[in-house]
Structure 1
Amino acid sequence: MRYSEQVKPVSYLKAHAAELLRGLADGAPPLVITQNGEARAVLQDVASYQETQETLALLKLLALGTRDIEAGRTVPARDAIARLRKGAGNAAE
């Protein structure tokens, strides 16, 4: 997607808000909103926003995991599973 094709001034947003929101709900790509010729905001539908936030959260978890590996803060899977099984047995008592 080329953002240059999806750039609208804030005045266009004000005049066509309902139409733009309908388009976004129907799958139109996000819009870059400008003010005084400068990009100021991105307008996108809620489902796409949520998907983006979930993707960012997963990427953050991956980055944190990578840091843990690099720092040596890991244990073999066999040990982790054994520890979980031992803990689960205690919870049932």
Structure 2
Amino acid sequence: MRYSSQIKPISYLKANAAEVLTHLAEQREPMVITQNGEAKAVLQDVASFEETQETLALLKMLALGNQDVAAGKVKPVADVVIRLRAKRTSA
């Protein structure tokens, strides 16, 4: 994805807020907002933001799982299955 076409000054955002929101929702591409020629913020539609948050959450779970594996905090699947079956039959 190329962000160079999605860079707008803050004055553009102020003057065209409704159109910017419509564009973000339709195109689902983030927009970089500049102030005094420097990138200051990134705007994106809510659906894309939610997808990003879900992806980050999954990546965090994977990283935590990898840490557990590296630390030896794992059990063989067979042991877990036996324990789960024992719980199921005792309930």
TM-score by length of 2: 0.90
Query: Does the 8 A contact of 2:28 with 2:48 survive in 1?
Result: no
* 4+ aligned runs moved over 3 Å, structure 1: none
Report the counterpart of residue 14 of structure 2 in structure 1.
14
User: Please, which runs of 5 or more residues in structure 1 have no aligned partner?
Assistant: none
Which segment is superposed worse, 39-48 or 25-34? 25-34
Which segment is superposed worse, 20-29 or 37-46? 20-29
Report the counterpart of residue 84 of structure 2 in structure 1.
84
Q: Does 1:56 align with 2:38?
A: no
Percentage of identical aligned residues: 64
Report the counterpart of residue 69 of structure 2 in structure 1.
69
Query: Does the 8 A contact of 2:30 with 2:45 survive in 1?
Result: yes
CA shift for structure 1 position 62: 0.6
1-structure distance, mates of 2:88, 2:25: 45
Report the counterpart of residue 33 of structure 2 in structure 1.
33
User: Please, which runs of 5 or more residues in structure 2 have no aligned partner?
Assistant: none
Report the counterpart of residue 43 of structure 1 in structure 2.
43
TM-score by length of 1: 0.88
Alpha-carbon displacement from aligned partner over 1:14-56 (angstroms, at most 9, x marks no partner): 1111001111111241101111211111110000000000000
